């Protein structure tokens, strides 16, 4: 098990991700060769060293590449699959905790305040939500409003591994083929079809870990078998791969 600090890089599912954290000994630990399991921990005051909003957010994340190795494409299917486990602890009091998102890349002239169109979040009291953003503006002047297309009816079970699979088409054109379908633990929890995301030149890139509004409690989340792909990952909906255990 290796601890990774800000500016380091780690290979995830064959792609080289960059580390974004506060360079604390507990911020990120990686298991496997090749890596297959990732433990993130955020304590109050843990700010990414490259963050400009240090007063309002805390994070420890891994960010996928934005070069040609990024499998995401606009107006085409992009698959996402991973397993996650929220470690036992007090219920989250943060207004929001992002547990995975497809992050946008604004064009010149667009507002820089553009929230991700694809987000899995933990809300106060450990309620799990999946939300999207849709905007037909160009240039993009305003952050698109948040739409919850899934909200859990009970707090998520901590200490248990959960499996998430998604297929998304980032196509914000009014007459496009956009949309997103999401499965959690083998059950379809969301199926949205219509304009999806923002009208941009570059596709989004994936991030996972912990990104939250400021909160007093420590939060730790484990991830395993993270994979993003143009090829279908539908086999993982009902048959997620085993979680590696070596070293953790």
Q: What is the pTM of this model?
A: 0.94
**Residues 138, 174: Cα–Cα separation, whole Å:** 13
pLDDT for 246: 57
pLDDT for 1: 42
Across the range 92-119, mean pLDDT stands at 97
Looking at the predicted structure, is the pLDDT value of residue 104 above 90?
yes
**Residues 162, 185: Cα–Cα separation, whole Å:** 6
Looking at the predicted structure, is the pLDDT value of residue 99 above 70?
yes
For CA atoms 194, 197, 198, 204, the dihedral sign is negative
Q: Which pLDDT band, with edges at 50, 70 and 90, does 244 fall under?
A: confident
At residue 134, the 3 state secondary structure works out as strand
Across the range 56-73, mean pLDDT stands at 96
Pair 198, 172: CB distance under 8 Å: yes
Q: Which pLDDT band, with edges at 50, 70 and 90, does 6 fall under?
A: low
pLDDT for 65: 96
Looking at the predicted structure, is the pLDDT value of residue 3 above 70?
no
Across the range 224-228, mean pLDDT stands at 98
Q: Which pLDDT band, with edges at 50, 70 and 90, does 50 fall under?
A: confident
Looking at the predicted structure, is the pLDDT value of residue 2 above 80?
no
At residue 58, the 3 state secondary structure works out as strand
Q: Which pLDDT band, with edges at 50, 70 and 90, does 191 fall under?
A: very high
Across the range 213-234, mean pLDDT stands at 98
Q: How many CB atoms lie within 10 A of CB 236?
A: 21
Q: Give the tokens for residue 45.
A: 């005051």
pLDDT for 15: 97
For residue 165, give every residue at least 6 positions away whose Cβ sits within 8 Å of its Cβ, in sequence order, or none. 79, 80, 81, 182, 183, 233, 234, 236, 237
pLDDT for 5: 61
Residue 123's alpha-carbon distances to 4, 84, 151, 196, in angstroms, are: 27, 16, 10, 23
């Amino acid at each position: 098990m290796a601890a990774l600090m800000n500016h380091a890089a780690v290979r995830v599912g064959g792609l080289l991700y960059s580390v974004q954290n506060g360079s604390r000994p507990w911020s990120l630990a990686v298991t496997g060769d090749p890596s297959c399991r990732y433990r993130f921990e955020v304590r109050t005051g843990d700010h990414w060293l490259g963050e400009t909003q240090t007063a309002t957010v805390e994070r420890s994340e891994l960010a996928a590449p934005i070069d040609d190795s990024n499998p995401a494409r606009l107006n085409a299917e992009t698959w996402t699959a991973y397993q996650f486990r929220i470690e036992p602890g007090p219920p989250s009091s943060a207004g929001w905790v992002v547990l995975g998102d497809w992050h946008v890349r604004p064009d010149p002239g667009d507002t820089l305040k553009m929230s991700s169109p694809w987000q899995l979040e933990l809300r106060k009291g450990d309620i799990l939500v999946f939300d999207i953003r849709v905007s037909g503006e160009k240039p993009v002047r305003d952050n698109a409003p948040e739409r919850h297309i899934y909200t859990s009816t009970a707090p998520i079970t901590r200490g248990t591994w959960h499996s998430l699979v998604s297929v998304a088409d980032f196509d914000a054109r009014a007459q496009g083929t956009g949309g997103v379908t999401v499965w959690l633990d083998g059950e379809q929890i969301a199926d949205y079809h219509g304009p999806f995301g923002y009208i941009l030149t570059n596709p989004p890139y994936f991030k996972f870990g912990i990104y939250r509004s400021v909160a007093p409690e420590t939060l730790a989340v484990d991830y395993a078998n993270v994979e993003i792909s143009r090829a279908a990952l539908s086999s993982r909906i009902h048959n997620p791969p085993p979680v590696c255990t070596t070293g953790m």
